[in-house]
Structures are given as C-alpha cells and as structure tokens.
Amino acid sequence: MIITIGGLPGTGTTTIAKKIAKTFNLRYVCAGLIFREMAKEMNMSLEEFSKYAEKHKEIDEEIDRRQIELAKKGNIVLEGRLAAWMLLREGIKPDLSIWFKTPIEIRAERIAKRENQSFEEALEKMKLREESEKKRYKDIYNINLDDLSIYDLVIDTSKWDIRGVFNIVSMAILNLPHLEDEL
C-alpha cells in the first residue's frame, strides 16, 4: 500500500502521517525531514536553504529520488508537498493521495506554537518559504501546488482536531477496495 499525505506547513501532515503509519504498520517517510537534514548539513536555516534550492535543482531532485525509491518498495506513508506528483510522474499510482489545507492564520498560529515564535515571525517565515517552494516547483517541475485535482481526498484540518482528521483518513484507508488483500 502507498499513501501520500501532502499539505502546506502547519496543516498537520506530519502528525497524521506518523499516526497512520503506526496504526497501519506502514513505513513513514517525510520529504520535509530530508529537506531539513540537508539544510542542517549545510548549516542553513530552512528559509536560507529554500532560497539556495531555488538555484540548485539537484536539491529537489535528490529528495524526489529518495522518495521514489522508498515508495517502490510499498507499505509506506509518504509525506510531502510533491509526494503524489512525483509518484505519478514515475508511473506509480498511490492507493490513496491526501492533501491537507488550512487557512494561513491558523497555520501560522500552529507553527508559532510549535517553533516557539511570535505569530508575526511564523507568518513571515512561512510566507517566504511557501513563495520559494511554489517558485521552485513551477520552475523545476511545472507543478502548480494550487492544483489539487490529483488528490483523492482534500481535508480542511482546521475543522477537526487531530483525532477527527485521523479518523477521516483511517476510514478512507479502511474503505479502499483492495484493502483486505494487504492488511
């Protein structure tokens, strides 16, 4: 089984993806963690590394390569803004592709709390990072992140708490037509 979960920062992708992986005994892979590790290796902040990656497409290509190789093995929850796009480009159709959305103010509040920052600082950093990512994804892959047509399920995570979102995703997984063969 291959499940992708994508969304902008602060939508809850990591929280839910980890819970789904644990509950359904799937491997968890996060593109964002790979990106963060690479930024740390280069002693850059996420914002600095995002700007750097705009001019160095090999950064995104390496993240994609790692995700695709792991996805080919199956039994995975792949978390990342481009995860579903990358798999489809490789001819791999995920069993379930999910996108989380949430209003920007709520996302900034969540990030501020998580990162111990002011709301204003979190909002500004988030806007800069998202602009950089949208530019990179358009320039490198010709992907428009606002195009949600490839997703099987789009959830506004501001409407439910973690348990509610987890329950929605779990029900979608449990009701996949071929699930009884895999779990």
- Predicted confidence at residue 180, as pLDDT, reads 55
Q: What is the pLDDT along the chain (183 residues), one digit of tens a residue?
A: 999 999 999 999 999 999 999 999 999 998 888 888 889 999 998 888 988 988 888 888 888 888 888 899 999 999 998 899 999 999 999 999 999 999 999 999 999 999 999 999 999 999 988 988 888 888 888 999 899 999 999 999 999 999 999 999 999 999 998 755 555
The H or E element containing residue 79 is strand 76-79
The tally of domains found in the chain comes to 1
Residue 103 lies in a domain: yes
Amino acid making up residue 46: L
Residue 6 lies in a domain: yes
- The dihedral built from the CA positions of residue 61, 146, 72 and 70, taken in this order, carries a sign that is positive
- Predicted confidence at residue 6, as pLDDT, reads 96
- The dihedral built from the CA positions of residue 31, 34, 36 and 39, taken in this order, carries a sign that is negative
Q: Which domain range does residue 133 map to?
A: 2-173
Residue 169 lies in a domain: yes
In the three-class reduction of DSSP (H, G, I as helix; E, B as strand; rest coil), residue 26 is classed as coil
Residue 8 lies in a domain: yes
Nearest to 124 by CA among 68, 45, 66, 57: 45
- Predicted confidence at residue 179, as pLDDT, reads 59
Residue 181 lies in a domain: no
Find out whether 14 and 79 touch, Cβ atoms under 8 Å. Answer: yes
- Whole-angstrom distance between the N-terminal and C-terminal Cα of the chain? 9
- Predicted confidence at residue 88, as pLDDT, reads 93
The CATH number for 97's domain is 3.40.50.300
- Predicted confidence at residue 74, as pLDDT, reads 92
Residue 179 lies in a domain: no
Residue 180 lies in a domain: no
**Count of C-beta atoms within a 10 Å radius of residue 67:** 24
- Predicted confidence at residue 182, as pLDDT, reads 54
Q: Which two tokens stand for residue 23?
A: 């509950």
Residue 129 lies in a domain: yes
Per-residue DSSP letter, 77: E
